[in-house]
Amino acid sequence: MIFFRNMIVSIAAVLLQFFVFQTLQAAERLAFVDVSVLPMDANRILEKQSVLIEDGVITAMGPETAISIPKDTKIINAKGKYLMPGLSDMHAHIAGYADTTAEGANISNQVAENQLLLYAATGVTLLRDTAGSTAHFTHQKKLQSGQWLGPELYFTSPVLEGKEAVWGFSLKLINVGDVEPLIAKFATEGYWGIKIYHTLSAEVYAAVLESAKRHNIHVIGHVPFEVGIDKALKAGQYSIEHFRGYDFDGLSLEELQQDGGRSAKRFSSWVNMTDDRMAELANLTVIKGIWNCPTLSINRFLFDSDARAALAKHARFAMVHPGLQAQILNSNALDDIFPVDARAAIKASLPRQKALIKQLREFGGKLLIGTDAVLPSYVPGFTPIDEMQAFEEAGLSRFDILQIATIKAAKSLGIEDRAGTIAIGKKTNMILVDDNPLSDLDALWQLSGVVINGEWHSHEDLKDRLEKMSQNWSSQN
């Protein structure tokens, strides 16, 4: 009897948790009427549409005269506005990866909640964090339950480094024998991918890729100095971040290790790369199906102190957590990390980086929008649009860029069956903007609101949330 009673109690507890979760996940019925839709499956605009969303799924879409809208539906009159899938940031850093104390974890939770809300307030509904931690599983649950408001979150393992580690919060992986149990652990725990850094040895790098393949988990990050771009491409690294690997092509290991890997010689490799060599690398990248997340805009911040300082004058700066504010205001510390001649070399390299982006696109390469926020001083959510505009400067069409920020991002995560386009049956998160981004990417700043987890959040609501969050911090000090 005691066994059955305990079993009944356990079942009741599970059911209670289930119904609580379902209640948190329950979404309102929404209908956008008289809206222009950018479905992002093709370069087209569907005008005067009605889009019905029930339980977070698009159940009907078509000319407004052909769609019947049920009673008790929240109507959003979107005449003159444009509905499209939400944007992405595929190289982000949400707080939690470097906590060592309970107090630090508490502050990181505040910062993380703020970061994620800032992303939502700028139309970013899909996020890939490239330096995950156990804290990120908690962040993910809070987003899924509706306790926090922000993008759908995916994240990699903590950063894996070699003997000469750059970051204090990374994990040192020196021995080949330690690779398999560590990768197996990350795969079992549910991390989306494995993040590697340029300090890994060639032997450990090869073992990581082999183990990751066995455990069906992606490897992304920097190309290790000992490996080089040719071997990394042939090995099939899933995604290369910041073009790290292309940017030291042709240099010896000794040259790469100068100034902690931040020498002018290293970054000058871009301007020394011939057009033929760039085409060769672009072609091999495409043949091997490797993704690239260039984070062009962040490279500008490495040499442009005026651009960094301007962030503090942004209208939303007061809504940024004080911890992030301090980091931005102290951003000139970057000038101590990168020598003057290295910063000049980075600046000179930008046209060549843009040329590689254009070449990859022309060859059919896989590109992603990413910012590296909050490193070194980017404000989360302020900058994916900057990155998109940098792609436009590189020569890509606005349609190509919008696809990269939506359906291509979803494909890279393996969720294109439910996200990235607007179509019946899709669970895609969406944004409503006041003007057509196919005509001008600046239109993305004119956000009327977002749909996240089936819930509509107007621009005014998002602003109010940020202001209340800021007021709470003030009251705690």
232 belongs to a structural domain: yes
Same domain, 249 and 110: yes
218 belongs to a structural domain: yes
20 belongs to a structural domain: no
15 belongs to a structural domain: no
Last residue of a domain, one of 389, 413, 437: 413
Alpha carbon distance, N-terminus to C-terminus of the chain: 55
Q: What pLDDT does 14 receive? A: 36
10 belongs to a structural domain: no
Cα separations (Å) of 12 from 18, 337, 340?
Answer: 10, 57, 65
Same domain, 435 and 334: no
399 belongs to a structural domain: yes
Q: What pLDDT does 383 receive? A: 79
Identify the residue whose tokens are 């139309």.
123
Same domain, 266 and 320: yes
357 belongs to a structural domain: yes
Question: In 431-456, which positions are buried (b, 16+ CB within 10 angstroms) versus exposed (e)?
Answer: bbbeebbbeebebbebbbbbbbbbbb
Distance (Å, whole) CA 206 – CA 227: 9
Q: Report how far Cα 23 is from the mean position of its chain's Cα atoms.
A: 28
Q: What is the pLDDT of residues 339-349, one digit of tens each?
A: 888 889 999 99
Same domain, 201 and 301: yes
Same domain, 374 and 469: no
- Is cis: bond before 208, omega within 30 of 0? no
- Is cis: bond before 376, omega within 30 of 0? yes
Last residue of a domain, one of 366, 389, 413: 413
SS3 242: coil
- Whether 162 and 174 have beta carbons less than 8 Å apart is answered as yes
Same domain, 430 and 312: no
Same domain, 332 and 402: yes
Q: What pLDDT does 106 receive? A: 75
Q: What pLDDT does 116 receive? A: 95
Which residues in the chain show pLDDT less than 50? 1-25
Distance (Å, whole) CA 381 – CA 383: 5
Last residue of a domain, one of 364, 383, 413: 413
Same domain, 399 and 429: no
Q: Which of 288, 332, 325, 310 is nearest to 473 (CA)?
A: 325
SS3 122: coil
Cα separations (Å) of 75 from 33, 55, 68, 78, 432?
Answer: 7, 15, 12, 9, 14
How many domains does the chain fold into? 2
Q: What pLDDT does 100 receive? A: 54
Q: What pLDDT does 333 receive? A: 65
- Whether 124 and 384 have beta carbons less than 8 Å apart is answered as yes
The full DSSP string for 358-415 is: HHHHHHT-EE-----TTSSSPPTTTSHHHHHHHHHHTT--HHHHHHHHTHHHHHHHT-
Q: What is the pLDDT of residues 107-144, one digit of tens each?
A: 788 889 999 999 999 999 999 999 999 999 999 999 99
- Whether 400 and 117 have beta carbons less than 8 Å apart is answered as no
Q: In which element (H, E) is residue 21 found?
A: helix 2-25
Report residue 24: phi and psi, to 5°. -65, -35
Same domain, 212 and 240: yes
Distance (Å, whole) CA 371 – CA 390: 11
Same domain, 144 and 68: no
- Whether 219 and 237 have beta carbons less than 8 Å apart is answered as yes
- Whether 447 and 81 have beta carbons less than 8 Å apart is answered as no
Cα separations (Å) of 335 from 100, 167, 323, 332?
Answer: 27, 17, 20, 5
The parent domain of residue 147 ranges over 87-413
Q: What pLDDT does 408 receive? A: 98
Give the strand pairing for 124-129 and 152-161: parallel
CATH classification at residue 236 = 3.20.20.140
Token output for 368: 């992603």
Q: What pLDDT does 165 receive? A: 86
Token output for 136: 């990120």
CATH classification at residue 40 = 2.30.40.10
16 belongs to a structural domain: no
- Whether 441 and 369 have beta carbons less than 8 Å apart is answered as no
Same domain, 68 and 193: no
Same domain, 176 and 323: yes
SS3 80: coil
